[in-house]
């Protein structure tokens, strides 16, 4: 492990000295715990010891993006959907959730009820606007101070557990869990080493600060939740995570919202799309990691091969610039012009979940050429709406998409290969309906209720082991 203190110790702010002293007082205990865990590296991944006590209340941390933000804008994406849906379903099984997130605008209320049993707390940490997530490490101390203030106003034992999302939240969660004497459960969502190993051309590598921070969190967490077995393997391979601490819990999909409903023709009518068109859809944040340029290049290749298709192809790109894509916010539009396909590519802003479901229903196929995906929630949402998916064979997408049944997995990122697959849908329009029906059936196994139940089991196991370890230190 590179260093023992979290990145909070490098921050500045009025709360830092006391917080970092509290952190350092317990470093020895944590180091000993990590050493003990290292001796059981071959333990089974899912079967944790049980216990009778279930969590009553969870402090959930999402520092850099609010669950109230519109997915597809800024840094809001699949993780936002994940947190919202998971929190709602946990509340439905009597696990209250308080989500702490950084206030990104002035005048926000201190707390907002997202749903019964789910509270979103806005924490002041740094300027409200103009901070990218890469700028947030120096604000972690201020964020932690806000979390501690909320905790101090409660009775002892108010939170049973901390569940942090993404590495920035993990550092706040690390300190909070130790200060409160509760376990830390962490979900990476994405990992720097994995992203850097499959970097898109021209994209910016994740910094060493994040790599070190993630390594520290992996060692400090009581439990790590991975979206897929592949992600669990990456945690062990890239970060030397103890397999005994890793639980695989597939994300879910809102099956009430994302469903075939009244069909493709009705969705196209609502969106003003041509009924007979071939519509390959991209939906997501516009950044090199998500590779929307691969779809545009594939479409250009397809039109070179079949010029007559130009009259009946309609390519929607639904989403906004994000991450490194903000450096060239109009780069994709310029690429479409250079490729000579600006007349068939239609850029649309991010939309809410209900309208996004209509876009999925309207599409002939969803295209996800991503370089890295921890799971690919959009792929499951599209399939639940009855639309097949053409996706890169990376990350969790081979779990989300059943190759040649509910869509196609494409090895690599050669636009010509994507053009080959899309041509198959053009030649056989019935493939969309046939594979779309199979996709909708496949998605039924990814409900959020099952994900919440499995997550609650992880919580319970973490609490059991934490109590056992605490008792052992007192006797």
Beta bridge partners of 164: 61, 186
Is position 70 annotated in a ligand binding site? yes
The answer to whether the annotation marks 351 as part of a ligand binding site is yes
- Strands, E assignment, 132-264: 161-165, 184-187, 223-226, 246-248
360 appears as a binding residue in the annotation: yes
**Max Cα-Cα span within the chain:** 79
Tell me if 332 sits within 8 A of 339, measured CB to CB: no
Strands across the sheet containing 246-248: 111-115, 118-123, 96-102, 57-62, 161-165, 184-187, 223-226, 246-248
Residue 134 marked in a binding site: no
387 is in an annotated binding site: yes
* Residue 470 marked ligand-binding: no
27 marked ligand binding residue: no
Q: Is 133 annotated as a binding residue?
A: yes
Q: Which residues have a Cβ under 8 Å from the Cβ of 250 and sit 6 or more positions away? A: 227, 228, 375, 399, 446, 450, 451
363 is in an annotated binding site: yes
Is 382 annotated in a binding site? The answer is no
Determine if residue 1 is labeled as part of a ligand binding site: no
CA distance 392 to 251: 19
Q: Which helix (H) or strand (E) holds 443?
A: helix 430-443
Give the tokens for residue 185: 């459960």
User: What is the 3-state composition of the chain as percent helix, strand, coil, each rounded to the nearest 5?
Assistant: 50, 15, 35
Q: Is 219 annotated as a binding residue?
A: no
The annotation status of 462 as a binding-site residue, yes or no, is: no
d(CA 120, CA 348) in angstroms, rounded, equals 29
The answer on whether 228 is annotated among ligand-binding residues is: no
DSSP state letter for 375: S
Parallel, antiparallel or unpaired: strands 118-123 and 111-115: antiparallel
DSSP 159: -
474 marked ligand binding residue: no
Q: Encode 319-341: b = buried (16+ Cβ within 10 Å), e = exposed.
A: bbbbbbbeebeebbbebbeebeb
373 a known binding residue?
A: yes
Retrieve residue 229's tokens: 């077995």
Distances from the Cα of 348 to the Cα of 286, 345, 416, angstroms: 11, 10, 25
The answer to the question of whether 23 is labelled as a binding residue is no
77 is in an annotated binding site: yes
The annotated binding site for UDP-N-acetyl-alpha-D-glucosamine is made up of 70-71, 78, 285, 290, 351, 373, 381
* Known binding-site positions: 64, 70-71, 75-80, 133, 166, 190, 210, 285, 290, 351, 360-361, 363, 373, 381, 387
List, as residue ranges, the binding site for Mg(2+): 360-361, 363, 387
**Which residues define the annotated binding site for 1D-myo-inositol 3-phosphate?**
64, 75-80, 133, 166, 190, 210
């Amino acid at each position: 492990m590179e260093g023992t203190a979290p990145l909070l110790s490098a921050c500045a702010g009025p709360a830092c000295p006391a917080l970092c002293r509290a952190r350092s007082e317990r470093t020895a205990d944590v180091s000993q715990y990590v050493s003990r865990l290292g001796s059981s590296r071959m333990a089974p991944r899912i079967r944790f010891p049980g216990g009778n006590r279930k969590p009553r209340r969870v402090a959930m941390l999402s520092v850099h993006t609010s669950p109230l933000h519109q997915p597809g804008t800024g840094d809001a994406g699949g993780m936002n959907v994940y947190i919202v849906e998971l929190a709602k379903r946990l509340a439905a099984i009597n696990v209250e959730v308080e989500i702490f997130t950084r206030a990104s605008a002035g005048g926000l209320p201190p707390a907002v009820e997202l749903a019964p049993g789910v509270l979103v707390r806005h924490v002041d940490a740094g300027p409200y606007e103009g901070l990218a997530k890469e700028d947030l490490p120096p604000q972690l101390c201020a964020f932690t101070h806000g979390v501690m203030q909320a905790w101090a106003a409660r009775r002892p034992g108010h939170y049973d557990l901390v569940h942090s999302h993404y590495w920035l939240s993990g550092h706040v969660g690390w300190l909070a869990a130790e200060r409160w004497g509760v376990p830390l459960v962490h979900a990476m969502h994405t990992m720097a080493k994995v992203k850097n190993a499959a970097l898109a051309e021209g994209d910016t590598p994740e910094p060493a600060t994040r790599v070190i921070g993630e390594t520290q969190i992996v060692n400090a967490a009581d439990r790590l939740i991975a979206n897929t077995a592949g992600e669990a393997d990456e945690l062990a391979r890239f970060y030397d995570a103890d397999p005994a601490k890793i639980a695989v819990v597939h994300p879910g999909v809102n099956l009430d919202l994302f469903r075939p409903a009244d069909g493709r023709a009705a969705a196209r009518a609502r969106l003003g799309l041509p009924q007979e068109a071939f519509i390959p859809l991209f939906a997501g944040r516009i950044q090199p990691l998500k590779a929307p340029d691969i779809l545009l290049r594939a479409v250009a290749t397809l039109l070179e091969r079949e010029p007559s298709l130009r009259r009946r192809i309609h390519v929607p790109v639904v989403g906004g610039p994000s991450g490194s894509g903000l450096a060239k916010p109009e780069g994709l539009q310029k690429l479409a012009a250079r490729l000579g396909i600006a007349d068939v590519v239609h850029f649309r802003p991010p939309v809410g979940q209900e309208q996004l479901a209509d876009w999925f229903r309207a599409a002939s196929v969803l295209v996800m050429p991503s370089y890295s995906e921890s799971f690919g929630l959009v792929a499951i949402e599209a399939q639940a709406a009855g639309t097949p998916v053409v996706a890169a064979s990376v990350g969790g997408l081979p779990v989300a998409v059943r190759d040649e049944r509910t869509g196609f997995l494409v090895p690599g990122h050669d636009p010509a290969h994507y053009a080959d697959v899309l041509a198959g849908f053009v030649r056989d329009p019935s493939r969309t309906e046939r594979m779309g029906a199979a996709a909708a059936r496949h998605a039924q196994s990814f409900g959020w209720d099952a994900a919440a139940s499995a997550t609650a089991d992880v919580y319970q196991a973490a609490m059991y082991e934490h109590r056992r370890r605490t008792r052992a230190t007192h006797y």
